[in-house]
Amino acid sequence: MSPTPDVELRERVRRIPGIERLLPALEGLPPAYLVGGAVRDLLRGADAVDVDIAVEGDARSVARALAERLSAEVREHERFGTATVRAGDLGFDLATTRTEVYDEPGALPRVAAASLDEDLARRDFAINAMAVGLTGDDLGHLYDPCGGLSDLNDGVVRVLHDRSFLDDPTRLLRAVRYEVRLGFRMNSATESLARAAVVDGALRTVSGARVRDELLDLLGESQAPAGVRRMHDLGLDLALHPALDSDPDLVASASLGAAAIGADPALAALAALCAAAPAELDLWLADLHLPAAQRDSVARAARVGPRLARELRAGEHQPSQLRSLLGREPVLSLALAMAMGAPSEPILRWVTELRSVRLEISGDDLLAAGVPEGPAVGRALDETLSRKLDGLVSGRDEELETALAVAREAAR
Ligand code: ATP
């Protein structure tokens, strides 16, 4: 298909923040194209979020030339010969147009330089397989060899060949993400291929880290609950782990709870998926290779969320009791507790007000007053803070008096 000049598209490209500096800098360099999600989003009339540029030439030398012309910083990535360029508000990724060969299903592909059309044909779905020319007279020309524009108009997610989900089963999660984000649907051939790939155990060939990236992207969507419902419909949840519980309502409340208290909604949704069988899912979670702190808080939230919800539902709690119950919990546990029916008032009160309350005195004040070094110091401060939270102690003098009394009591 020959490229179609498109005045409107050219104008939309020109409205990408920072692009007015990039376009003149591309002059005299190998042909460059805007590719991937940015093209899809410009055609939908939405803002292009990530600017991905493909060049028919060596991406890293183009990146270096651009960095010099734009006084920008460039970071080169070894594995796929790509580079990231950043100059103030302008940031973009550059890649050489390439083919990808999958030696084994699920593994990362071998790449080789290729034409733009071949580069578009290696992509996940037709709606993501369009390009727009950025160089000279080509500015604004749409390259659409796979029929992406018509899919975009029809609301269709469609793979480009029959082995697509087997070559890269993370595309199963990507397909669901685009369905729920855009309100689209796989066409029936694509859905049949997806279901067949799930039944074939395709997801078992993918590393946990790659599943993690796509799963968290899906769970981070505002439509994550619909995504979880669709995962279940396609058998994706079961394929990831039979103990995952795809309860869209729980995922919805976990994400909302997380947003209300400053926790990560995608991680809260992941904890919600694990909450029905946290012990069984421990190894699966570990295999996702989340950063250790995130993995620990997801696992903990899944484990303690139900208990916290029960205890908070059981009756009113003094501030000091809230501290004993919630003080050592990551915010993710609190988000999950809310999702599982804990009253939100005590949790919000803890997060917004109580957890930042501190004593005016410190251990040094107790040592200076003659309390010997040892565990009694910590215990006295702890007890004093509890009393302060409950409104029984106020001001520095009362704090010191209380802490000294507690320390003396402990020494007896
Ligand atoms: P989004 O689509 O989430 O808005 P994006 O377009 O930046 O953002 P990325 O995951 O960064 O999405 O992918 C960029 C482009 O690379 C996609 O639009 C698609 O063309 C291609 N791509 C990404 N992942 C795959 C994959 N697993 N298989 C084939 N092509 C892919």
* Ligand 1 midpoint to CA 138 (Å): 23
Lowest mean pLDDT among 75-79, 93-97, 147-151, 342-346: 75-79
Query: For residue 174, which atom of ligand 1 is closest to its CA?
Result: 27
With a cut of 80, say whether residue 412 has pLDDT above it: no
Q: Which helix (H) or strand (E) is 257 found in, with range?
A: helix 248-261
Rounded to whole angstroms, the Cα distance separating 260 from 270 reads: 17
Pocket test for ligand 1, best of 51, 108, 123 (most atoms within 8 A of CB): 123
* Ligand 1 midpoint to CA 249 (Å): 28
Residue 3 has what pLDDT? 41
* Ligand 1 midpoint to CA 174 (Å): 8
For 140, counting Cβ atoms within 10 Å of its Cβ (0-12 exposed, 13-18 middle, 19+ buried), the class is buried
Residue 112 has what pLDDT? 85
pLDDT tens-digit map of 354-388: 999 999 999 999 999 999 999 999 999 999 999 99
Percent residues over pLDDT 90 in the chain: 88
With a cut of 70, say whether residue 131 has pLDDT above it: yes
* Ligand 1 midpoint to CA 36 (Å): 6
**Cβ-contact 338, 308 below 8 angstroms:** no
Write the DSSP symbol of residue 362: -
**Cβ-contact 323, 357 below 8 angstroms:** no
pLDDT tens-digit map of 218-267: 999 999 999 999 999 999 999 999 999 999 999 999 999 999 999 999 99
* Ligand 1 midpoint to CA 37 (Å): 6
Spell out which residues line ligand 1, taking CB within 6 angstroms. 36-37, 49-50, 52, 123-124, 128, 168, 170-171
User: 43 to each of 36, 300, 359, 384, how far by Cα in Å?
Assistant: 11, 43, 57, 62
Average of per-residue pLDDT values in the chain: 94
Q: How is residue 67 written in tokens?
A: 């960095």
Query: For residue 49, which atom of ligand 1 is closest to its CA?
Result: 4
Residue 103 has what pLDDT? 86
Q: Using CA positions, which residue lies closest to atom 30 of ligand 1?
A: 123
* Ligand 1 midpoint to CA 109 (Å): 15
**Cβ-contact 59, 82 below 8 angstroms:** yes
Lowest mean pLDDT among 43-47, 88-92, 338-342, 368-372: 88-92
Rounded to whole angstroms, the Cα distance separating 284 from 7 reads: 50
Rounded to whole angstroms, the Cα distance separating 126 from 145 reads: 9
Percent residues over pLDDT 70 in the chain: 99
pLDDT tens-digit map of 168-194: 999 999 999 999 999 999 999 999 999
With a cut of 80, say whether residue 4 has pLDDT above it: no
With a cut of 60, say whether residue 21 has pLDDT above it: yes
